[in-house]
Structure 1
Amino acid sequence: MNRLWTPAWIARHVAMVVLVTGFLALGWWQVSRAAAGNAISWGYAVEWPIFACFVVFVWWREVRHTLRGPAPAAPEEASPAAGTRPADAPEAAAPRPVVRRPVRVARVPAAVGGVEDGDLAAYNHYLQWLNDNPGAKPGDYPG
């Protein structure tokens, strides 16, 4: 339950209360205008409470999502680099690193008749360079 009292969650709670209060106040204002003879305001009088219900729905869904998720690690337990753990941490407490396996795709012959498209060859060279340099950004490509 402490996860819902972080500064970010307090801001979300306050935003939800402010939005719901504001939307319901706007709905009441539209009801008073509609009662005074403005026919269009009847639609808005229904619409504003629907907006308030939507805000409550999204807030409730995010609360449930946060409570169902794993508890965040304490800052002193977090390791500085991915895949490492503190020296004094027990072996069983170390999280297993996620291993991503490369996708293997069967190579298709370059082109029919031995003629390869120049743009396709340049794009394939670019993709190969990105694959060979996993930490590089697309803007670092020398070609």
Structure 2
Amino acid sequence: MKRLWTPAWIARHVAMVVLVTAFLGLGWWQVSRAAAGNAISWGYAVEWPIFAGFVVFVWWREVRHTLRGPATSPDQASAAAATRTAEAPAGTATRPVVRRPVRVARAAGTAAVGEDADLAAYNRYLQWLNDNPGAKPGDYPG
């Protein structure tokens, strides 16, 4: 629970309370305007409490995420994960580590006689994607 009382979390708690109070107040204001005859205010009267609910939802989700996460810094957590992966006995399931693919040098392929250069470049790109299954298209060195 100490993790939820850091200066950053205190600011988040205060922001949540202020936003929810403001959104519910704005919703009540729109209800009073709608009751006075402004028909479009009925839509806003429904909308502001939904915004307040969304703020509470995001706040609650972040609280749960923080309480479930490790109490260590990100550097310590990544080092501990690497140690667990390296020391894991054979046959046990470990979570895969997601890493960026290694950049490879551009293949100096030459197009065959009569082959379109654009088609050859596209085929090299598809081959590179096939050889690097975790790669993103933006990682392509060509």
TM-score (normalizing by structure 2):
0.58
Residues 49-72 of structure 1: per-residue CA shift (max 9 Å, x gap):
000000000000000000000012
Aligned identity (percent) is 76
Give 2:111's aligned amino acid. Answer: V
Give 1:96's aligned amino acid. Answer: T
Q: Structure 2: where are the runs of 5+ without partners? A: 87-98, 122-142
The size of the alignment, in residue pairs, is: 102
The aligned residue for residue 35 of structure 1 is 35
Q: Structure 1: where are the runs of 5+ without partners? A: 84-92, 121-143
Considering only aligned residues, what root-mean-square deviation do their CA atoms show, in Å? 3.8
The aligned residue for residue 23 of structure 1 is 23
Counterpart check, 1:50 vs 2:37:
no
Structure with larger RCO (C-alpha < 8 A, sep 6+): 2
Counterpart check, 1:96 vs 2:95:
no
Runs of 4+ in 1 over 2 A off after TM superposition: 95-105
Residues 16-67 of structure 1: per-residue CA shift (max 9 Å, x gap):
0000000000000000000000000000000000000000000000000000
Question: What SS does the aligned partner of 1:37 have?
Answer: coil
More helix by share: 2
Assess, with a 3 A threshold, how the Cα gap between structure 1 residues 31 and 96 changes in structure 2: closer, same or farther. Answer: same
Question: What SS does the aligned partner of 1:39 have?
Answer: coil
TM-score (normalizing by structure 1):
0.57
User: Matched residues in 1 for 2:27 and 2:69: separation?
Assistant: 35
